[in-house]
């Protein structure tokens, strides 16, 4: 375990090298999180029940009990059912595979081999969502008791999430610019094949434009909209409220993926799950429905 912090991360992988890589990412980035490790699902269940981590990174393919089986067991335990689990896989990336993971209870997925920036970004994002969920649960009782209460804390939390997105955009922007400068230097010194480097730089330029495009963030949902939405659908999470608002503003799946730094497939599944949670038939337009609130 690393030096303890306010948040706990449980990393589950049967390969020691993969565990070391993930743990080193956290150590190298100096994030204030305690890191727990388990080499199979059964050990993970024991640690999760005892330590109650704030987030779990779960390998899919493991002996004794694979990642999907472990997630299902976590969801059966009232103490661990709400812990977000990010499934890690380098093979199971088809739509059917991801559907299995999300239906089992996974919150997200991350590709293997793990990439440091994405790994840290996903963890930070989901830990922020944990805080949002706690805030909404606290507010839900107040909403029941006082229908006219302004949901200032929820608005503040969602604004905070948008600001964090902006900071992440800035981080990626600076990182990509720095890599581009370093690659330009390598090209000038003829230390690497120019054609290959140019290809990499082209990809970086596309990624940079993608990050820049996420600056087109619509306005915040006002307290009336959030209150109206929660009055009808009290079990919505802050992440789902954000998704509702973005869909309400006619943002397409790819635009939402860019804005929230998620895979397009993840957003598609989230939209599908949201529709089910709203009890909305396939024949009804989701955007039109969300504009009623």
Residue 66 CA to residue 233 CA, distance in Å, equals 34
Question: Using 50, 70 and 90 to split pLDDT, how confident is the model at 97?
Answer: confident
> What is the tens place of the pLDDT at every residue in 198-253?
655 665 565 555 555 544 555 556 667 877 888 888 778 777 888 888 898 888 88
| Whole-number Å distance between alpha carbons of 195 and 192 | 9
Cα distance between residue 197 and residue 203, in whole Å: 10
Domain range annotation of the chain: 7-114, 133-152+218-290, 154-213
Predicted local confidence at residue 152, as pLDDT: 53
pLDDT at 148: 44
Calculate the average pLDDT of the chain: 76
The answer to whether domain 7-114 and domain 133-152+218-290 are alike in fold is yes
User: Which of 268 and 257 is assigned the larger pLDDT?
Assistant: 268
What is the domain class of 133-152+218-290 according to CATH? alpha beta
Q: Write out pLDDT tens, residues 152-207.
A: 555 555 555 555 555 555 555 555 565 566 656 666 666 656 665 565 566 556 55
Per-residue pLDDT at 118: 82
Instruction: List phi, psi (to 5°) of 14.
Output: -80, -10
Pick from 22-31, 166-175, 262-271: least confident: 166-175
pLDDT at 286: 92
Q: Which is more confidently placed, 192 or 49? A: 49
Give the C-alpha distances (Å, rounded to integers) separating 176 from 66, 98, 205, 211. 36, 29, 8, 10
- pTM comes to 0.49
pLDDT tens for each residue of 3-13: 444 788 999 99
Cβ burial 150-181 (10 Å sphere, 16+ → b, else e):
ebeebbebbeebeeebeebbeebeeebeeeee
**Phi, psi dihedrals of residue 108, rounded to the nearest 5°:** -165, 175
CATH topology of domain 7-114: Rossmann fold (3.40.50)
């Amino acid at each position: 375990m690393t030096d303890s912090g306010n948040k706990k991360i449980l990393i589950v992988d049967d390969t020691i090298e993969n565990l070391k890589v993930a743990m080193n990412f956290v150590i190298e980035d100096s994030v204030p999180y305690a890191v727990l490790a388990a080499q199979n699902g059964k050990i993970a269940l024991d640690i999760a029940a005892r330590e109650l981590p704030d987030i779990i990174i779960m390998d899919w393919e493991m002996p004794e009990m694979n990642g999907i089986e472990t997630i299902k067991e976590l969801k059966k335990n009232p103490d661990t059912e709400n812990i977000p689990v990010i499934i890690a896989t380098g093979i199971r990336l088809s739509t059917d595979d991801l559907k299995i993971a999300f239906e089992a209870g996974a919150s997200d997925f991350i590709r293997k081999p793990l990439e440091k920036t994405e790994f840290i970004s996903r963890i930070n994002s989901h830990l922020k969502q944990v805080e949002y969920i706690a805030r909404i649960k606290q507010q839900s009782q107040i909403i029941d008791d006082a229908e006219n209460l302004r949901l200032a804390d929820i608005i503040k939390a969602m604004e905070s999430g948008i600001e964090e997105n902006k900071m992440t955009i800035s981080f990626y922007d600076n990182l990509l610019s720095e890599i581009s400068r370093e690659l330009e230097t390598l090209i000038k010194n003829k230390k690497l094949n120019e054609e290959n480097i140019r290809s990499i730089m082209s990809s970086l330029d596309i990624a940079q434009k993608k990050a820049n495009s996420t600056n087109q963030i619509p306005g915040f949902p006002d307290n009336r909209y959030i209150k109206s939405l929660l009055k009808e659908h009290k079990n919505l999470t802050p992440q789902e409220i954000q998704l509702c608002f973005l869909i309400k503003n006619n943002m397409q799946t790819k635009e939402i993926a860019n804005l929230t730094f998620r895979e397009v497939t993840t957003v598609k599944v989230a939209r599908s799950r949201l529709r089910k949670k709203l009890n909305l038939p396939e024949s009804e337009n989701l955007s039109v429905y969300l504009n009623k609130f």
